[in-house]
Structures are given as structure tokens and as C-alpha cells.
């Protein structure tokens, strides 16, 4: 049973930074990809970034490219999302997700690729 626990959310001002963490447990994650998604009030959940656990290859949504950085600590089984230059439109609940599916069949930018989800952490950016 895979468990994902997010932390690090909070209330910040525009231009500030936050670092989200996702602690993963229950499996060996070397063959997994990890993703971050977010859901703002009244909107659908959207892709933010993903990283391949073994290679470290990462990919970002255009809306966060250059501001957010996804990384992982293999020893701690933890994935991070460093968020800089935050904007009010980044306000959302941020979710961590994990998958061992092939990206050729299940694109990692889609929710349907992921089998495991955390409970989410709230990020609020005030203007």
C-alpha cells in the first residue's frame, strides 16, 4: 500500500516562495514517476510537474515553468516542489501523486496516469 503525505502549504504573499514536500512510503519507488497537481476552487485539478524517480527527468506545466522546481530525495523517499515568485493564481490545494504506469500509454500530465494520491495541502497566495 503506497501512502503519500504532503506538507509545506500555507498563506504567503505574491512574490514569496514555498516548498512543498511529499513523503512516500509503502514501496520501493525506483520505477515510479511522481507528480504534483493542483485544484483551485471551482476548477478542475490540473497538472503542475512530474519527475521520474530513477532518472530525475522532470516536466512542467507552462504556467509554472521557470518558477517551480520539482526534485526528489531518494534516500528519504520524498519529492519536493519548490515554488518561487508565487502569484495569486497559484492559490490551490496541491496534491502529490505516484504512478508506475508507462508514460507511452498514460501521459504523466494526466490524472488518469496516477494510482496513488495524497490528501493535499493548501497554498494561498495573497496579492
Which tens digits make up the pLDDT trace of 38-69?
999 999 999 999 999 989 999 999 999 999 99
Residue 114 has a pLDDT of 96
Query: Where does the pLDDT of residue 31 fall: very low under 50, low under 70, confident under 90, or very high at 90 and above?
Result: confident
Number of C-beta neighbours around residue 25 at 10 A: 12
Residue 29 has a pLDDT of 80
Amino acid at each position: 500500500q503506497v501512502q503519500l503525505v504532503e506538507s509545506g502549504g500555507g498563506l504567503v504573499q505574491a512574490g514569496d516562495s514555498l516548498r512543498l514536500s511529499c513523503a512516500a512510503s509503502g514501496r520501493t519507488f525506483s520505477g515510479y514517476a511522481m507528480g504534483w497537481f493542483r485544484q483551485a476552487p471551482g476548477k478542475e485539478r490540473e497538472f503542475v510537474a512530474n519527475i521520474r524517480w530513477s532518472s530525475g527527468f522532470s516536466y512542467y506545466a507552462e504556467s509554472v515553468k521557470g518558477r517551480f522546481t520539482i526534485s526528489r530525495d531518494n534516500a528519504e523517499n520524498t519529492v519536493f516542489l519548490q515554488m518561487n515568485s508565487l502569484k495569486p493564481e497559484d492559490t490551490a490545494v496541491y496534491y502529490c501523486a505516484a504512478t508506475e504506469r508507462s508514460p507511452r500509454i498514460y501521459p504523466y500530465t494526466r490524472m488518469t496516469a496516477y494510482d496513488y494520491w495524497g490528501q493535499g495541502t493548501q497554498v494561498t497566495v495573497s496579492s
